[in-house]
Amino acid sequence: MAAQRLTFKAQMAQVSVPASSANLGSGFDTFALALDLRDRYAAQVLDEAIFDVDVTGEGADEVKRDKNNLVVKAALRGFEFMGQKPRGLALRALNVTPHGRGLGSSASAIVGGLALARELVLGGEQLMSLEEMMFLATELEGHPDNVAAAIYGGASVAWMEDIYGVQTGRAVSIPVHHEIKAVLFIPENHLSTSKARKLLPETISHREAVTNSSRTALLSIALATRPDLLLTATEDFLHQSYRREAYPKSMALVEELRAKGVAATISGAGPSVLALHTHHEGALKEVISAATGGFQAQELAISRSGVQ
C-alpha cells in the first residue's frame, strides 16, 4: 500500500469490462470465460464530499445510486489500497450485462470500480498491479472465477491460495481457440447466486469427483487447442443437476443442446445457458432454434481482452 498521498487526475476516466460465464460445466468455481458484452463506466474525482451516481441500461432501477453502489464501493476500496480515498466521486454507468442471470454482472461492477480508481490516480498502474486488482476483486466478490475473466479476458483458471495467512484469489489465462464462439440463451427470470449455492449437496461420491476431475483437466485442452472435445470436457457432475429445481427450463435446454452435440452448460449460477460451438452459419441457426419460449438467443464472440 502506498505511503505517500495520492495525486488524483482532474479528468474523467473511462473503462469497459466484459461479461463472463463461470464454471463452463465441469470447471465449477474454477473456470470462466469472458464474453464480448461490455459494461461501460466513467468516473471523476470530486472535491466535494458527494457521490453523484447515474446508471442506465440493464438493472438501472435495481442498483444503488450513492456511495453504496457496487462500482463506487469497489473504487473506494481501490483508492484505499493505493493509499488515500478522494472526498467524492461522480460515476456514470452504462450496463449491458443482464443482472441475476449468471453472467458476472457483479464482477463487472467490481472490476470496473477498481480499474476506475487505478485510472484516476497518477501512477495508478504502479500502485495497483493486475494481480493486486485480482486480490481486491476476489475480496469484494467472494470468489475468483468471474473477476478473473473480467480482468484478464479470454478463458481463465482461478483458485484460492493462502498467502501470508490470507486466502487470496489467483488466476492464469488460457488462450481460446480462434474457432470457438458462443451463443447465450438468456431467460426472463432471475436467480441469485446465494440461492443457487444452497441447493448444492455437502458431499458427492468419490466416483463422481474423479469423473468430474477428468473433464475439468480436459477443459483446458479443449478451449485452447481441441474444440472438438468441448462436449465431453463440459460434462458436469458437481452442480448443474443438483440445481435443476431452480432452473428446470434451462436444464431442459442444456440437455436438448447436448443431445444434438452442442457443448451447452448453465452459465454461472444460472439461469442463462451458454453454448460453445464452432459451427458455420447454417448449423448455428439450428442451434439457436432449439430455444423456444422464454429465452433470448444472442450470438457472441469470446472477449480476448479483459478490462480496458
Instruction: Count the neighbouring beta carbons within 10 Å of the beta carbon of residue 85.
Output: 16
Q: How many domains does the chain have?
A: 2
Contacts of 164 (CB under 8 A, 6+ apart): none
Taking a C-beta distance cutoff of 8 angstroms, is the pair 71, 113 a contact?
yes
Helix (H) or strand (E) holding 113: helix 105-119
Mark whether 204 and 234 lie in a shared domain. yes
163 and 233 in a single domain? The answer is no
**Residue 72 shares a structural domain with residue 221:** no
State residue 1's pLDDT score. Answer: 45
Domain-embedded: residue 195: yes
Determine the Cα–Cα distance for residues 185 and 296; give it in Å rounded to an integer.
Answer: 5
The torsion defined by the Cα of 261, 200, 96 and 280, in degrees rounded to 10, comes to: -10
212, 213, 216, 218: CA torsion to nearest 10: -110
Within this chain, do residues 158 and 196 fall inside the same structural domain, yes or no?
no
The domain that holds 258 is classified in CATH as: 3.30.70.890
Domain finish residue from 174, 204, 220: 174
User: What was the pLDDT predicted at 2?
Assistant: 42
Does residue 308 form part of some domain?
no
Q: Tell me how many degrees the CA angle 233-237-238 measures, rounded to the nearest 5.
A: 115
Task: Give the CA dihedral 164, 148, 217, 280, nearest 10 degrees.
Answer: -170
160 & 254 share domain = no
Q: What is the pLDDT of residue 198?
A: 86
The answer to whether residues 23 and 148 belong to one domain is yes
Number of other CB atoms surrounding residue 2 within 10 Å: 15
Q: Give the tens place of pLDDT for each residue, 151-166.
A: 999 999 999 999 888 8
Do 27 and 141 lie in one domain? The reply is yes
* pLDDT tens string 241-269: 999 998 999 999 999 999 999 999 999 99
Distances (CA, A) of 59 to 5, 120, 245, 291: 36, 26, 25, 24
pLDDT for position 191:
75
- On whether the CB atoms of residues 41 and 16 are closer than 8 A, the answer is yes
Which pLDDT value is given to residue 4? Answer: 61
In-domain check, residue 129: yes
For residue 46, the model assigns a pLDDT of 97
What's the pLDDT score for residue 122?
Answer: 96
Please identify, among 156, 174, 192, the residue that sits at the C-terminal boundary of a domain.
Answer: 174
Examine the domain organization and report whether 19 and 166 are in the same domain: yes
pLDDT value of position 262 = 93
Beta bridge partners of 25: none
Q: Per the domain annotation, does 209 fall within a domain?
A: yes
Place of cell 440493464: 58
**Structural domain that includes position 250:** 181-300
Q: Are residues 227 and 153 in the same domain?
A: no
In a domain, 307, yes or no: no
CATH, residue 17: 3.30.230.10
Domain C-terminal end among 174, 193, 222: 174
Q: Do residues 115 and 86 both lie within one domain?
A: yes
Question: Dihedral of the CA atoms 189, 190, 195, 196 (nearest 10)?
Answer: 80
Report yes or no on 163 lying in a domain: yes
Buried b (16+ CB within 10 A) or exposed e, 175-202: ebbeebbbbbbbbeeebebeebeeeeee
162 and 187 both lie in a single domain = no
Low-confidence ranges of the chain (pLDDT < 50): 1-2
Q: Is 3 inside a domain boundary?
A: no
- Contact yes or no for 25/235 (Cβ under 8 A): yes
* Same domain flag for 160 and 206: no
